[in-house]
C-alpha cells in the first residue's frame, strides 16, 4: 500500500477568498496520474471539492486493473488484456483477479475443481425464481436472485472473516452461470437444466442455456471460446459505475451478495452494461447500410437525444482494446457458423467506418467500445438480446468480488460518504 506518511511531493492550493494556502500530499502510483490527497481539506479550510461524475477523483487505491484510456490499454494485474484473451481461460483470469497471480497447473486444477463443485444452487432458489413474472426482464430477476443469495447462503456472509469471504467469492463465481441460465429458462418456459460438472465453466453454462430434456446441446469449440473471451474481456474494468456501486454499498459492511446485487442494478443502465443490448437494438432499428447517413445526422442533432450506442467511453479516448478483440471474435464466430454475410455485422462494420471518418466522432474521441460487437457475437451464439446484460454481469462478478475483497482488506477502508454543494433553501419557517 502507498506510504502515505513519507510522501515527498506536494500540491499547493491557493484561494482567492483569503483562506490561507494549503499544501497537500501528492502520491504516485506504479503507473497512471498522480493523485492529490485532499482528505484534510475540509478540516483545514471548511471547504469540499466538487466533482459530480467523478471526472477527476480517485476514490480508492487499487492493484487489480489498470486502464490507460489515452493509449487504449487495459491490464489485469499488469497483464495486457490481449495476452490474457489469447492464452488463458476465464477461470484463469478469475484466479488472477482474485489472487493477484496466474495459477500454476496444480493451483489451476484445484481452483477449477472448487468452482465446479459449487455450481449447483440451493434447490429452494427455483421456488424463489418462480415468484417472478415470466415476462420479467432477466436483469430484474438476476438482481433479485443475487441479492437473495444472502438468504440462501447465510453461513458465509460475515465480512470480517477471510474464510467466509473466500467461500462467498467462490459461490458467486460458480453459481452465477447457473442462476443466469435459470432466469433464461424460466423466461422461455423451459425446464431448468442442472449443471454438469464434467464440462468446463463456459461449456457448462452454454449447456444450461441451450439444452433441454429432449435435446442435448452440441458443444461447438469456436462458440465456447468466443463466449469465454466475452467473459474475459468483461471480467473487470477498474472503478466503473457498477464496481464503484459495489464498493460504496459494500463500504457499509453489508454482505457481498447485497453489494453485488447493487452492482448488477447499476450495470443494467443503458449508459453502462445495458449498452450491448441497446447497441444491437440500434443496429436492428437502422436496418440497412443506406439508412446510416440519416441515423448519424440524428445522433449529431443535440435535440434528438439519440446516441450511437456502443460508441464512446468515459475513460477510453482512443480505441477500446476489448472492441478490437471482440471484432476479431465476431469474424471467427460468423465464419464458424457460415454467417459471413450477416447483415447486422456488415452494418456494424460500415457504421464504424463512417463514424471513424466523421468530424463529430473524431473531435470527441468517440470510438467503438466492447459492446459494439459483443451483441452480434452473442446473438450469433444464440443468446437473446435481453440476456446480454446478464452475460456481462456473469463475467463482471469476479471483478466486483475481487474489488470488494480489496476494499474490505484495505487499511484505509471507511464507509463511503460523499458530501454536496447545497443550493436549496438555506432555511425557511412555516407561516
Ligand atoms: N453518441 C453520440 N455522441 C456521444 C456519444 C455517443 N455514443 N458518447 C458521447 N457523445 C458526445 C456527447 O454528446 C458529448 O458531446 P458534446 O461535448 O457536444 O456535448 C461528448 O461526446 C462527451 O460525452 P459525455 O456524455 O460527456 O461523455 P461521458 O464520458 O460522460 O460518457 C458514455 C461516456 C456514457 C459511455 C457515453 O459515451 C455514451 O453514452 N455512450 C453510449 C452508451 C455506451 O455505449 N455505453 C457503454 C460504455 S462501455 C461499458 O459500460 C462496458
What percent of the chain has pLDDT above 90?
89
Is the C-alpha dihedral spanning 243, 57, 418, 51 positive or negative? negative
> Got the DSSP string for 155-218?
GG--TT-HHHHHHHHHHHHHHHHHHHHHHHHHHHTPPP----TTS-HHHHHHHHHH-BTTBPPP
pLDDT for res 275: 84
pLDDT at 1: 54
Judged by DSSP in three states, 57 sits in coil
Place of cell 456472509: 157
Residue 309 Cβ inside 6 Å of ligand 1? The answer reads yes
CA–centroid distance, residue 272 to ligand 1 (Å): 10
Residues 230-258 pLDDT 10s: 999 999 999 999 999 999 999 999 999 99
Three-state DSSP string of 244-304: HHHHHHHCCCCCHHHHHHHHHHHHCCCCCCCHHHHHHHHHHHHCCHHHHHHHHHHHHCHHH
Q: Could you tell me if the CB of 275 is within 6 A of ligand 1?
A: yes
Q: Is the CB of 364 under 6 A from ligand 1?
A: yes
pLDDT band at 283 (very low <50, low <70, confident <90, very high): very high
How confident is the model over 401-417, as a mean pLDDT? 96
What's the average model confidence in pLDDT over 345-369? 92
| CB-CB contact of 232 with 93 (8 Å) | yes
Give per-residue pLDDT as tens, 59-75: 999 999 999 999 999 99
Residue 297 has pLDDT above 60, yes or no: yes
Looking at every residue in the chain, the average pLDDT score rounds to 95
Pocket flag, ligand 1, residue 308 (CB < 6 Å):
yes
Task: Give which of 303, 322, 312 is closest to 85, Cα–Cα.
Answer: 322
How are strands ordered across the β-sheet holding 79-80? 65-68, 73-76, 79-80
* Ligand 1 neighbour 300 (Cβ under 6 A): no
In 3D, which of 61, 168, 89 has the Cα closest to residue 401?
168
pLDDT digits (tens, 9 = 90+) for 83-122: 999 999 999 999 999 999 999 999 999 999 999 999 999 9
Burial of 426 (0-12, 13-18, 19+ CB in 10 A): exposed
Under 8 Å between Cβ of 179 and 146: yes
Give the pLDDT band (50/70/90) at residue 413: very high
Q: Which atom of ligand 1 is nearest to the CA of 313?
A: 35
Mean pLDDT of 18-38: 96
| 158-211 residue pLDDT tens | 999 999 999 999 999 999 999 999 999 999 999 999 999 999 999 999 999 999
| 35-36 vs 22-27, strand pairing mode | antiparallel
Residue 2 pLDDT: 65
pLDDT in tens, 252-266: 999 999 999 999 999
pLDDT at 137 over 80: yes
If you take atom 41 of ligand 1, which residue's CA is the nearest one?
A: 309
Separation of 7 CA from ligand 1 center, angstroms?
Answer: 36
pLDDT above 70 for 226: yes
- Check 137, 228, 313, 320 and give the catalytic one: 313
Residue 144 dihedral angles phi and psi, to the nearest 5°:
-65, -45
Amino acid at each position: 500500500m502507498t506510504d502515505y506518511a513519507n510522501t515527498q511531493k506536494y500540491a499547493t492550493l491557493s484561494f482567492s477568498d483569503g483562506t490561507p494556502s494549503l499544501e497537500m500530499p501528492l502520491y504516485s502510483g506504479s503507473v497512471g496520474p498522480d493523485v492529490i490527497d485532499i482528505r484534510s481539506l475540509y478540516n483545514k479550510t471548511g471547504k469540499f471539492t466538487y466533482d459530480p461524475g467523478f471526472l477527476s477523483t480517485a476514490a480508492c487505491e487499487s492493484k487489480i486493473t489498470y486502464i490507460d484510456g489515452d493509449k487504449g490499454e487495459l491490464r489485469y494485474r499488469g497483464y495486457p488484456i490481449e495476452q490474457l484473451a489469447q492464452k488463458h481461460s476465464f477461470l484463469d483470469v478469475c484466479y488472477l483477479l482474485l489472487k493477484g497471480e496466474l495459477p500454476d497447473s496444480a493451483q489451476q486444477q484445484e481452483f477449477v475443481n472448487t468452482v465446479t463443485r459449487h455450481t449447483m444452487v440451493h434447490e429452494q432458489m427455483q421456488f424463489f425464481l418462480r415468484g417472478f413474472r415470466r415476462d420479467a426482464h432477466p436483469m430484474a430477476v438476476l438482481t433479485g436472485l443475487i441479492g437473495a443469495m444472502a438468504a440462501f447462503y447465510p453461513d458465509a456472509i460475515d465480512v470480517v472473516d477471510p474464510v467466509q469471504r473466500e467461500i462467498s467469492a467462490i459461490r458467486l463465481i460458480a453459481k452465477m452461470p447457473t442462476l443466469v441460465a435459470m432466469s433464461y429458462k424460466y423466461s422461455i418456459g423451459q425446464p431448468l437444466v442442472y449443471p454438469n460438472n464434467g464440462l468446463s465453466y463456459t461449456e457448462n453454462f452454454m449447456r444450461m442455456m441451450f439444452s433441454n430434456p429432449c435435446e442435448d446441446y452440441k458443444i461447438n469449440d469456436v462458440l465456447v471460446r468466443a463466449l469465454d473471451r466475452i467473459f474475459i474481456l468483461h471480467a473487470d474494468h477498474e472503478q466503473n459505475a457498477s464496481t464503484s456501486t459495489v464498493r460504496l454499498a459494500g463500504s457499509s459492511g453489508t454482505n457481498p451478495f447485497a453489494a453485488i446485487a447493487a452492482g448488477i442494478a447499476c450495470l443494467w443502465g443503458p449508459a453502462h452494461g445495458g449498452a450491448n443490448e441497446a447497441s444491437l437494438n440500434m443496429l436492428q432499428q437502422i436496418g440497412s447500410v443506406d439508412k446510416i447517413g440519416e441515423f448519424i445526422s440524428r445522433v449529431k442533432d443535440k435535440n434528438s437525444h439519440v446516441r450511437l450506442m456502443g460508441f464512446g467511453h468515459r475513460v477510453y479516448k482512443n480505441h477500446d482494446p476489448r472492441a478490437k478483440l471482440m471484432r476479431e471474435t465476431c469474424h471467427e464466430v460468423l465464419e464458424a457458423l457460415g454467417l459471413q454475410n450477416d447483415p447486422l455485422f456488415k452494418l456494424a462494420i460500415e457504421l464504424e467506418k463512417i463514424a471513424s471518418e466523421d468530424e463529430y466522432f473524431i473531435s470527441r474521441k468517440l470510438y467503438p467500445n466492447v459492446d459494439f460487437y459483443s451483441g452480434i457475437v452473442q446473438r450469433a451464439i444464440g443468446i437473446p438480446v435481453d440476456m446480454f446484460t446478464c452475460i456481462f454481469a456473469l463475467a463482471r462478478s469476479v471483478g466486483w468480488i475481487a474489488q470488494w475483497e480489496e476494499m474490505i482488506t484495505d487499511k484505509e477502508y471507511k464507509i463511503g460518504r460523499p458530501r454536496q454543494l447545497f443550493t436549496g433553501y438555506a432555511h425557511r419557517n412555516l407561516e
